[in-house]
């Protein structure tokens, strides 16, 4: 979902282009799941003729201060985004609406036209956002319940260390808690923990003062950098784990991992590529580092700086971390080390004879995430019914499935026939024995 850097980029865009302008037209979507506790017509009437004075943000929430209340407030949810027609505004990695889409987009929930002709729209494809009309957004939930803003109200190192010492929850889950620190979401949490070399499931209270200080520093640096580049992920440092936590299909260059960018080649882009290559005399060492030229083979798995990225569940969210660098410490590490290693069996098929081994650390991670789940019942359960393959399945696969089904059917038929034969035989013996017992004995 959009996090502090993306929402701050939207706030700055509104501040730069919309302040001092009057709203002459408003269109609010008739969507009660997103438009909270006010009708579309009342919302529109409250906006018309108002002037935008300022734009504010706390955590992942944004609100516009008009020349009189009430004020529109935006909770971005999973895919909320601000668009200003003709203005480049950074959108969340997975929330962008195509430029070729109709304007305003069919996903628009809040649309206004200003007196100079500028148009602004808040869109939400997945409908998890909330758009509210409030007299004082900062004084009521959800904004009033937020913890200190990670950018505007950072804790001191001592305050941060002291607060962590009182929290037994896993550090990743704590960072996602907006009542503790507001603005940090899934990707920011993964990034700061990776930079600080801290395991996502490490208990907050068990962290050393050094680890607390390092994490405090990383939160500040990552957020400030992301905000400075307007949350434009293409400008994030190449060594950030951000680039490798989405598709899980990176390439590898000189021991460093390079994101494989998907490029839509337009005529303009082709000319840019050619001009750049000519400019450096076709010297490939001077080509931009993010060119796919440098990494044309996809590697399996996900890596960063030559080290494997694993994906686990922490704080209820998919979490990317590097086991080689982000290790559990203290009592958690001791408990993990005391457990015996489990090895997976070698693969019977294929030319690769490598053995995959599950580390104690990974076992502990799985166990930690499943504490609330009861033990699995022993013994074999019923096998789930085989799913029918779609019509698009390959012929070879379909053939294999049919052959397996035929073989199973033959075995089942054979067993059934054998059982029937035995039953018939036993029944005949029983009848014969019964008849013999009824025959009268011959007199001597």
Active-site annotation, residues: 2-3, 60
User: What is the rounded CA–CA span in Å between residue 288 and residue 161?
Assistant: 41
Of the candidates 14, 15, 4, 7, the one whose C-alpha atom is nearest the C-alpha of residue 149 is 4
Burial of residue 291 (CB within 10 Å: 0-12, 13-18, 19+) is: middle
Residue 402, H or E segment:
helix 395-438
3-state helix, strand, coil in the chain (%, to 5): 35, 20, 45
Cis peptide before 399 (omega within 30 of 0): no
Rg over alpha carbons for the chain, rounded to the nearest Å, is 32
Q: Under a CB-based contact definition with an 8 Å cutoff, are residues 64 and 71 in contact?
A: yes
Q: Under a CB-based contact definition with an 8 Å cutoff, are residues 303 and 252 in contact?
A: yes
Please report, for residues 15, 204, 279, 356, 403, the alpha-carbon distance to residue 327 in angstroms, rounded to integers and kept in the order given: 43, 14, 46, 20, 48
* Cβ neighbours of 260 (radius 10 Å): 18
User: What is the rounded CA–CA span in Å between residue 145 and residue 163?
Assistant: 18
User: What is the rounded CA–CA span in Å between residue 181 and residue 153?
Assistant: 9
Cis peptide before 389 (omega within 30 of 0): no
Coil, helix or strand at residue 405: helix
Burial of residue 2 (CB within 10 Å: 0-12, 13-18, 19+) is: buried
Residue 55, H or E segment:
strand 52-58
User: What is the rounded CA–CA span in Å between residue 185 and residue 80?
Assistant: 14
User: What is the rounded CA–CA span in Å between residue 294 and residue 140?
Assistant: 52
């Amino acid at each position: 979902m959009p996090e502090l850097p993306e929402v701050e980029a939207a706030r700055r865009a509104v501040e730069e282009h919309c302040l001092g302008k009057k709203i002459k037209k408003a269109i609010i979507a008739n969507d009660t799941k997103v438009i909270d506790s006010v009708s579309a017509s009342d919302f529109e009437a409250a906006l018309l003729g108002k002037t935008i004075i300022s734009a504010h943000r706390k955590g992942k929430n944004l609100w516009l201060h008009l020349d009189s209340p009430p004020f529109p407030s935006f909770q971005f949810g999973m895919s909320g985004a601000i668009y200003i027609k003709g203005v480049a505004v950074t959108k969340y990695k997975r929330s962008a609406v195509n430029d070729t889409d109709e304007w305003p987009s069919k996903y628009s929930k809040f649309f206004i036209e200003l007196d100079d002709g500028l148009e602004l729209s808040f869109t939400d494809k997945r409908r998890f956002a909330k758009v509210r009309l409030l007299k004082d957004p900062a004084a009521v939930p959800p904004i009033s319940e937020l913890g200190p803003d990670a950018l505007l109200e950072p804790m001191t190192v001592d305050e941060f260390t002291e607060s962590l010492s009182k929290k037994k929850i896993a550090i990743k889950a704590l960072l996602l808690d907006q009542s503790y620190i507001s603005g940090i979401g899934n990707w920011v949490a993964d990034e700061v923990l990776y930079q600080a070399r801290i395991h996502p499931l490490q208990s907050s209270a068990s962290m050393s003062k050094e680890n607390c200080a390092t994490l405090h520093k990383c939160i500040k640096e990552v957020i400030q950098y992301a905000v400075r580049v307007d949350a434009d992920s293409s400008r994030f440092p190449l060594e950030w784990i951000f680039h490798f936590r989405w598709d899980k299909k990176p390439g590898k260059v000189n021991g460093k991992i390079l994101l494989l960018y998907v490029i839509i080649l337009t005529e303009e882009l082709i000319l840019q590529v050619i001009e750049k290559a000519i400019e450096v005399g076709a010297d490939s060492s001077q080509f931009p580092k993010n060119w796919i030229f440098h990494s044309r083979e996809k590697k399996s798995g996900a890596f960063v700086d030559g080290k494997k990225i694993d994906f686990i569940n922490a704080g209820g969210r998919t979490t990317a971390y590097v086991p080689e660098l982000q290790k559990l410490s203290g009592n958690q590490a001791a408990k993990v080390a005391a457990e015996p290693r489990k090895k997976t069996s070698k693969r019977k098929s294929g030319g690769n004879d490598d053995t995959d081994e599950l580390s104690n650390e990974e076992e502990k991670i799985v166990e930690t995430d499943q504490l609330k789940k009861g033990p699995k019942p022993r013994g074999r359960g019923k096998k789930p019914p085989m799913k029918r393959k779609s019509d698009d399945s390959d012929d070879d696969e379909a053939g294999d499935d049919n052959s397996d089904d035929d073989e199973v059917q033959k075995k089942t038929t054979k067993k059934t026939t054998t059982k029937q034969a035995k039953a018939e035989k036993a029944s005949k013996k029983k009848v014969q024995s019964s008849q013999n017992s009824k025959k009268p004995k011959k007199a001597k």
